[in-house]
Homo-oligomer: A and B are copies of this chain.
Amino acid sequence: MNPRELQLAPDANVHAVESAARAFGLWTTRLQGSDGHTAALEIQSHSQWVDPSELATIPGVSRVLGTTSGHPRVDSLKGQQTTIGDAVFGAAPVLIAGPCSVDSPEQVHACAAMARAAGATVLRGGAYKPRTSPYSFDGTGLEGLGWLRDAADAHGLAVVTEVMSERRVDAVAEVADLMQVGSRNMQNFALLDEVGRAAKPVLLKRGVASSVKEWLLSAERLLVAGAPTVVLCERGIRGDDGTTRNLLDLGAVALLKRVHGLNIVVDPSHAIGRRDLIGDLAAAALACGADGLMIEIHPDPASARCDGPQALGDAELERVGALIAADPRSTSVPSR
């Protein structure tokens, strides 16, 4: 239950209850009856999470009211880990790397080699690409899926790849260890239902303007439909000022990790879109608890068919890999 209100006993000292609430990290607003008497304190949504039973002990509080989360299955994931091949989300941080789009067997093999060398355990790569313009290159499709799987297998990596159409769910499920739902489809409910039915773990990206609540309800939908688990992926929301591609919301990452206990990774490539700053945001993401990073790479960014300006090359990827390796969580788990 999310606490939303402290009901006051008739003889409560309002100031004293407000003080106690403040000590618990709660922002409150007074609710009054028509007689002007304060009958309750409303708890604002950006307050620290506190167990309702603790709040009930505040002298002067007669009852704590709250809302149900609306996503019981997501809540039941709290504290769990998700294992995909050699990656264990929720244990040591995971490096997911690969090209924006799967362009050719050679390119994706080169990427897999780069990824592996930098410590990645999961290969990303788009065979189906969501493109704002209908005239843009939108992926190599089924053929690309095959190249992706081959490259991953050749280098001992698991595969995450996006599915964009209800009609391609089976094809993608055959290849992917982790099925990605992209940010533009976060509220494509028909797709979520179909992906859930494939009964595979899902990586769910946040919509560019979605609230945390909407995001969790989409995760709930996947679980209801049959997905065994969901890994969330923050990739930046709209609201930037033009000097960066999107606005990375690490507050949401901290919230989902610390308070909700979910597995969440960060995609700094899409968040910032600038090659010179991806490393800094990667470090920030790990520092605030992200369970992994998803990085776009390319053996030769000049020839990338999509998002080349944000693709990292060898040296830059190695630095990101070093961040992961240096994370205290990496060093505290036995090597795999």
Contacts and interface: CB of A to CB of B under 8 A. Distances in A.
Contacts of A23: 300-302, 308
A156 B30 CA distance: 41
B190 A184 contact: no
A287 B112 CA distance: 27
B22 A302 contact: yes
A25 interface: yes
A253 B30 CA distance: 27
What is the size category of the interface that chain A forms with chain B? 35 or more
A69 to B, nearest CB: 11
A212 B240 CA distance: 9
A39 interface: yes
Nearest to A71: B133
Given A31-B67, A33-B63, A48 B288 contact: no
B240 A244 contact: no
A25 B272 CA distance: 12
Interface in A47-61: 47-49, 52-53, 56
A46 B243 contact: yes
Contacts of A138: 189
A26 B245 CA distance: 12
A45 B189 contact: no
Contacts of A30: 67-68
Interface in A11-25: 19-23, 25
A275 B48 contact: yes
Interface class of chain A by DSSP = mixed
Nearest to A303: B19
Nearest to A209: B209
Contacts of A210: 241
Given A5-B31, A23-B308, A214-B132, A249 B251 contact: no
Nearest to A42: B4
A10 interface: no
Interface in A219-260: 220-221, 224-225, 236-245, 247-252, 254-255, 257-259
Given A4-B42, A166-B190, A254-B277, A211 B133 contact: no
B283 A68 contact: no
B274 A46 contact: yes
A48 B250 CA distance: 22
Contacts of A300: 23
A70 B1 contact: no
A123 interface: no
Contacts of A20: 302
Given A166-B190, A257-B280, 11 more contacts: A5-B31, A23-B308, A31-B65, A34-B64, A40-B65, A46-B272, A133-B217, A133-B221, A184-B187, A254-B272, A281-B288
24 contacts: A19-B308, A25-B274, A31-B67, A33-B63, A34-B64, A39-B65, A46-B240, A46-B243, A46-B245, A47-B274, A49-B276, A132-B214, A132-B217, A134-B220, A138-B189, A166-B167, A209-B238, A211-B242, A244-B251, A250-B280, A250-B281, A254-B281, A280-B287, A281-B288
